[in-house]
Amino acid sequence: MTRITLSTGASAWMVTRYTDVFQVISDQARFSSEAAIDGPIPVPMPEGGFPPPRPGFFSTYGPREHGRVRRMLNAEFSARRMREFLPRVETVVDDCLDAIDRLGPPADLVADFALAVPSRLFFELLGIPESDRPGLLSHVDMLLDFTADPQDQAVAFGELDTYMSGFVGECRRRTVPGLVGRLITSHGAELSDSEVAGIAAQLLLAGYATTSGTIALGVLLLLYHPDQAAALRDGSADTDHAVEELLRHLSVVAFGKVFTAAEDTTVGGQKVRAGEYVLCHLPSANRDRDLGPGLDRFDISREPPPHLAFGHGPRHCLGAELARMEIRIGISRLLRRFPGLRLAVPFDELRFTPMNAAYSVESLPVAW
């Protein structure tokens, strides 16, 4: 744990050890996420404090209200619901692979697969019409980019919010298949339209970018570990272990929420004062030597150690099982469909996205 000064001049504690990160993420009472700040660049506290979070963005709610919304959403991401969704995941993966095969090499594995599969599935899960998806994708891309102009982001958020408000109104007027429609049917009397729109917007912002980054970087990683790719392709490797190793090793969400200490407390023997910022560095936590030896090395054959790629406890990712399913099915079927898969450009031509809510690669040209 160390003190850092961010580019804005704000000071924060950077927490890097697994045990300490686990403590911060798990403790909603002492480490608040009510300030609506994400990513590694928190701003100094504005005069008069932060404005109230937008209704429905439950990641910024206090423990009681956060739990209330989570309980409403749990059924939508339950094991039963994911089993029901499995055939659709397989169909979408195969559709994208068919399109790649039909068009022939080279293909951009980000646009054509790693982004296409999880974004298409998540829009379907929410019930968003296909014609509306391209515009929403561009808004989400803007809002996840830590280097984007704040004014442009404000415009993108306003347009996303306006869309979701209209979509919720449509779901109130008639039966619309999907999560938003079911949420209104089951809990519409407890939730205002504004809160439902906020919930839908937050789910969309968190729903597919992390999975996309893990698939894209996971494929790239496997191309540089052909023996492990071969083990996945021929079925000799445990695919569930492989998915956990990809999630742990890549940890594409480096920081997530910026927490604020709600009271004086201690983390890793270090005193943290009330009001101070705390950032959790998940890639470091997930490679902590206390979890086992050699965790800087990628190895799908290892017994998966615990990791915090999906957070923990009340801050555990709602869509974790959906993400695991998409990664497992997507990568295994891709490797089997294209056994000769290889990079179509030199590695040093690839461009990565470190200043983004989900680390990834901008494009991944491949041939086979």
Question: Cα separations (Å) of 287 from 25, 281, 297?
Answer: 17, 11, 9
Q: List per-block mean pLDDT (blocks of 10 residues) for the chain, which spans 368 residues.
A: 84 96 96 74 64 86 94 95 96 98 97 98 97 97 91 94 97 95 96 97 96 98 98 97 98 90 96 94 97 97 96 95 98 98 98 95 98
Tracing tokens 């992390």 back to the chain, one arrives at 210
Helix boundaries (H) for the chain: 18-26, 63-74, 79-103, 109, 116-126, 133-144, 150-173, 179-187, 193-207, 209-223, 226-234, 239-250, 282-285, 320-337
- For residue 242, what are its two tokens? 């492989």
Q: What predicted TM-score, i.e. pTM, was given to this entire model?
A: 0.95
Owner of token pair 């608040």: 32
Other CB atoms within 10 A of residue 350 CB: 14
What contacts 23, CB < 8 A, 6 or more positions away? 267
CB 291 within 8 A of CB 297: no
Report how far apart the first and last C-alpha atoms of the chain are (Å, whole number): 45
The pLDDT assigned to 324 comes to 98
So what's the pLDDT on residue 36? 57
Report the topology of domain 2-367.
Cytochrome p450 (1.10.630)
**Which pLDDT score, from 0 to 100, does residue 9 have?**
81
The count of other CB atoms within 10 Å of the CB of residue 90 is 14
Look at residue 8 in the predicted model and tell me its pLDDT: 74
Going from N- to C-terminal start, the domains of the chain cover: 2-367
Predicted local distance difference test score (pLDDT) of residue 150: 84
What is the reported pLDDT for 256? 78
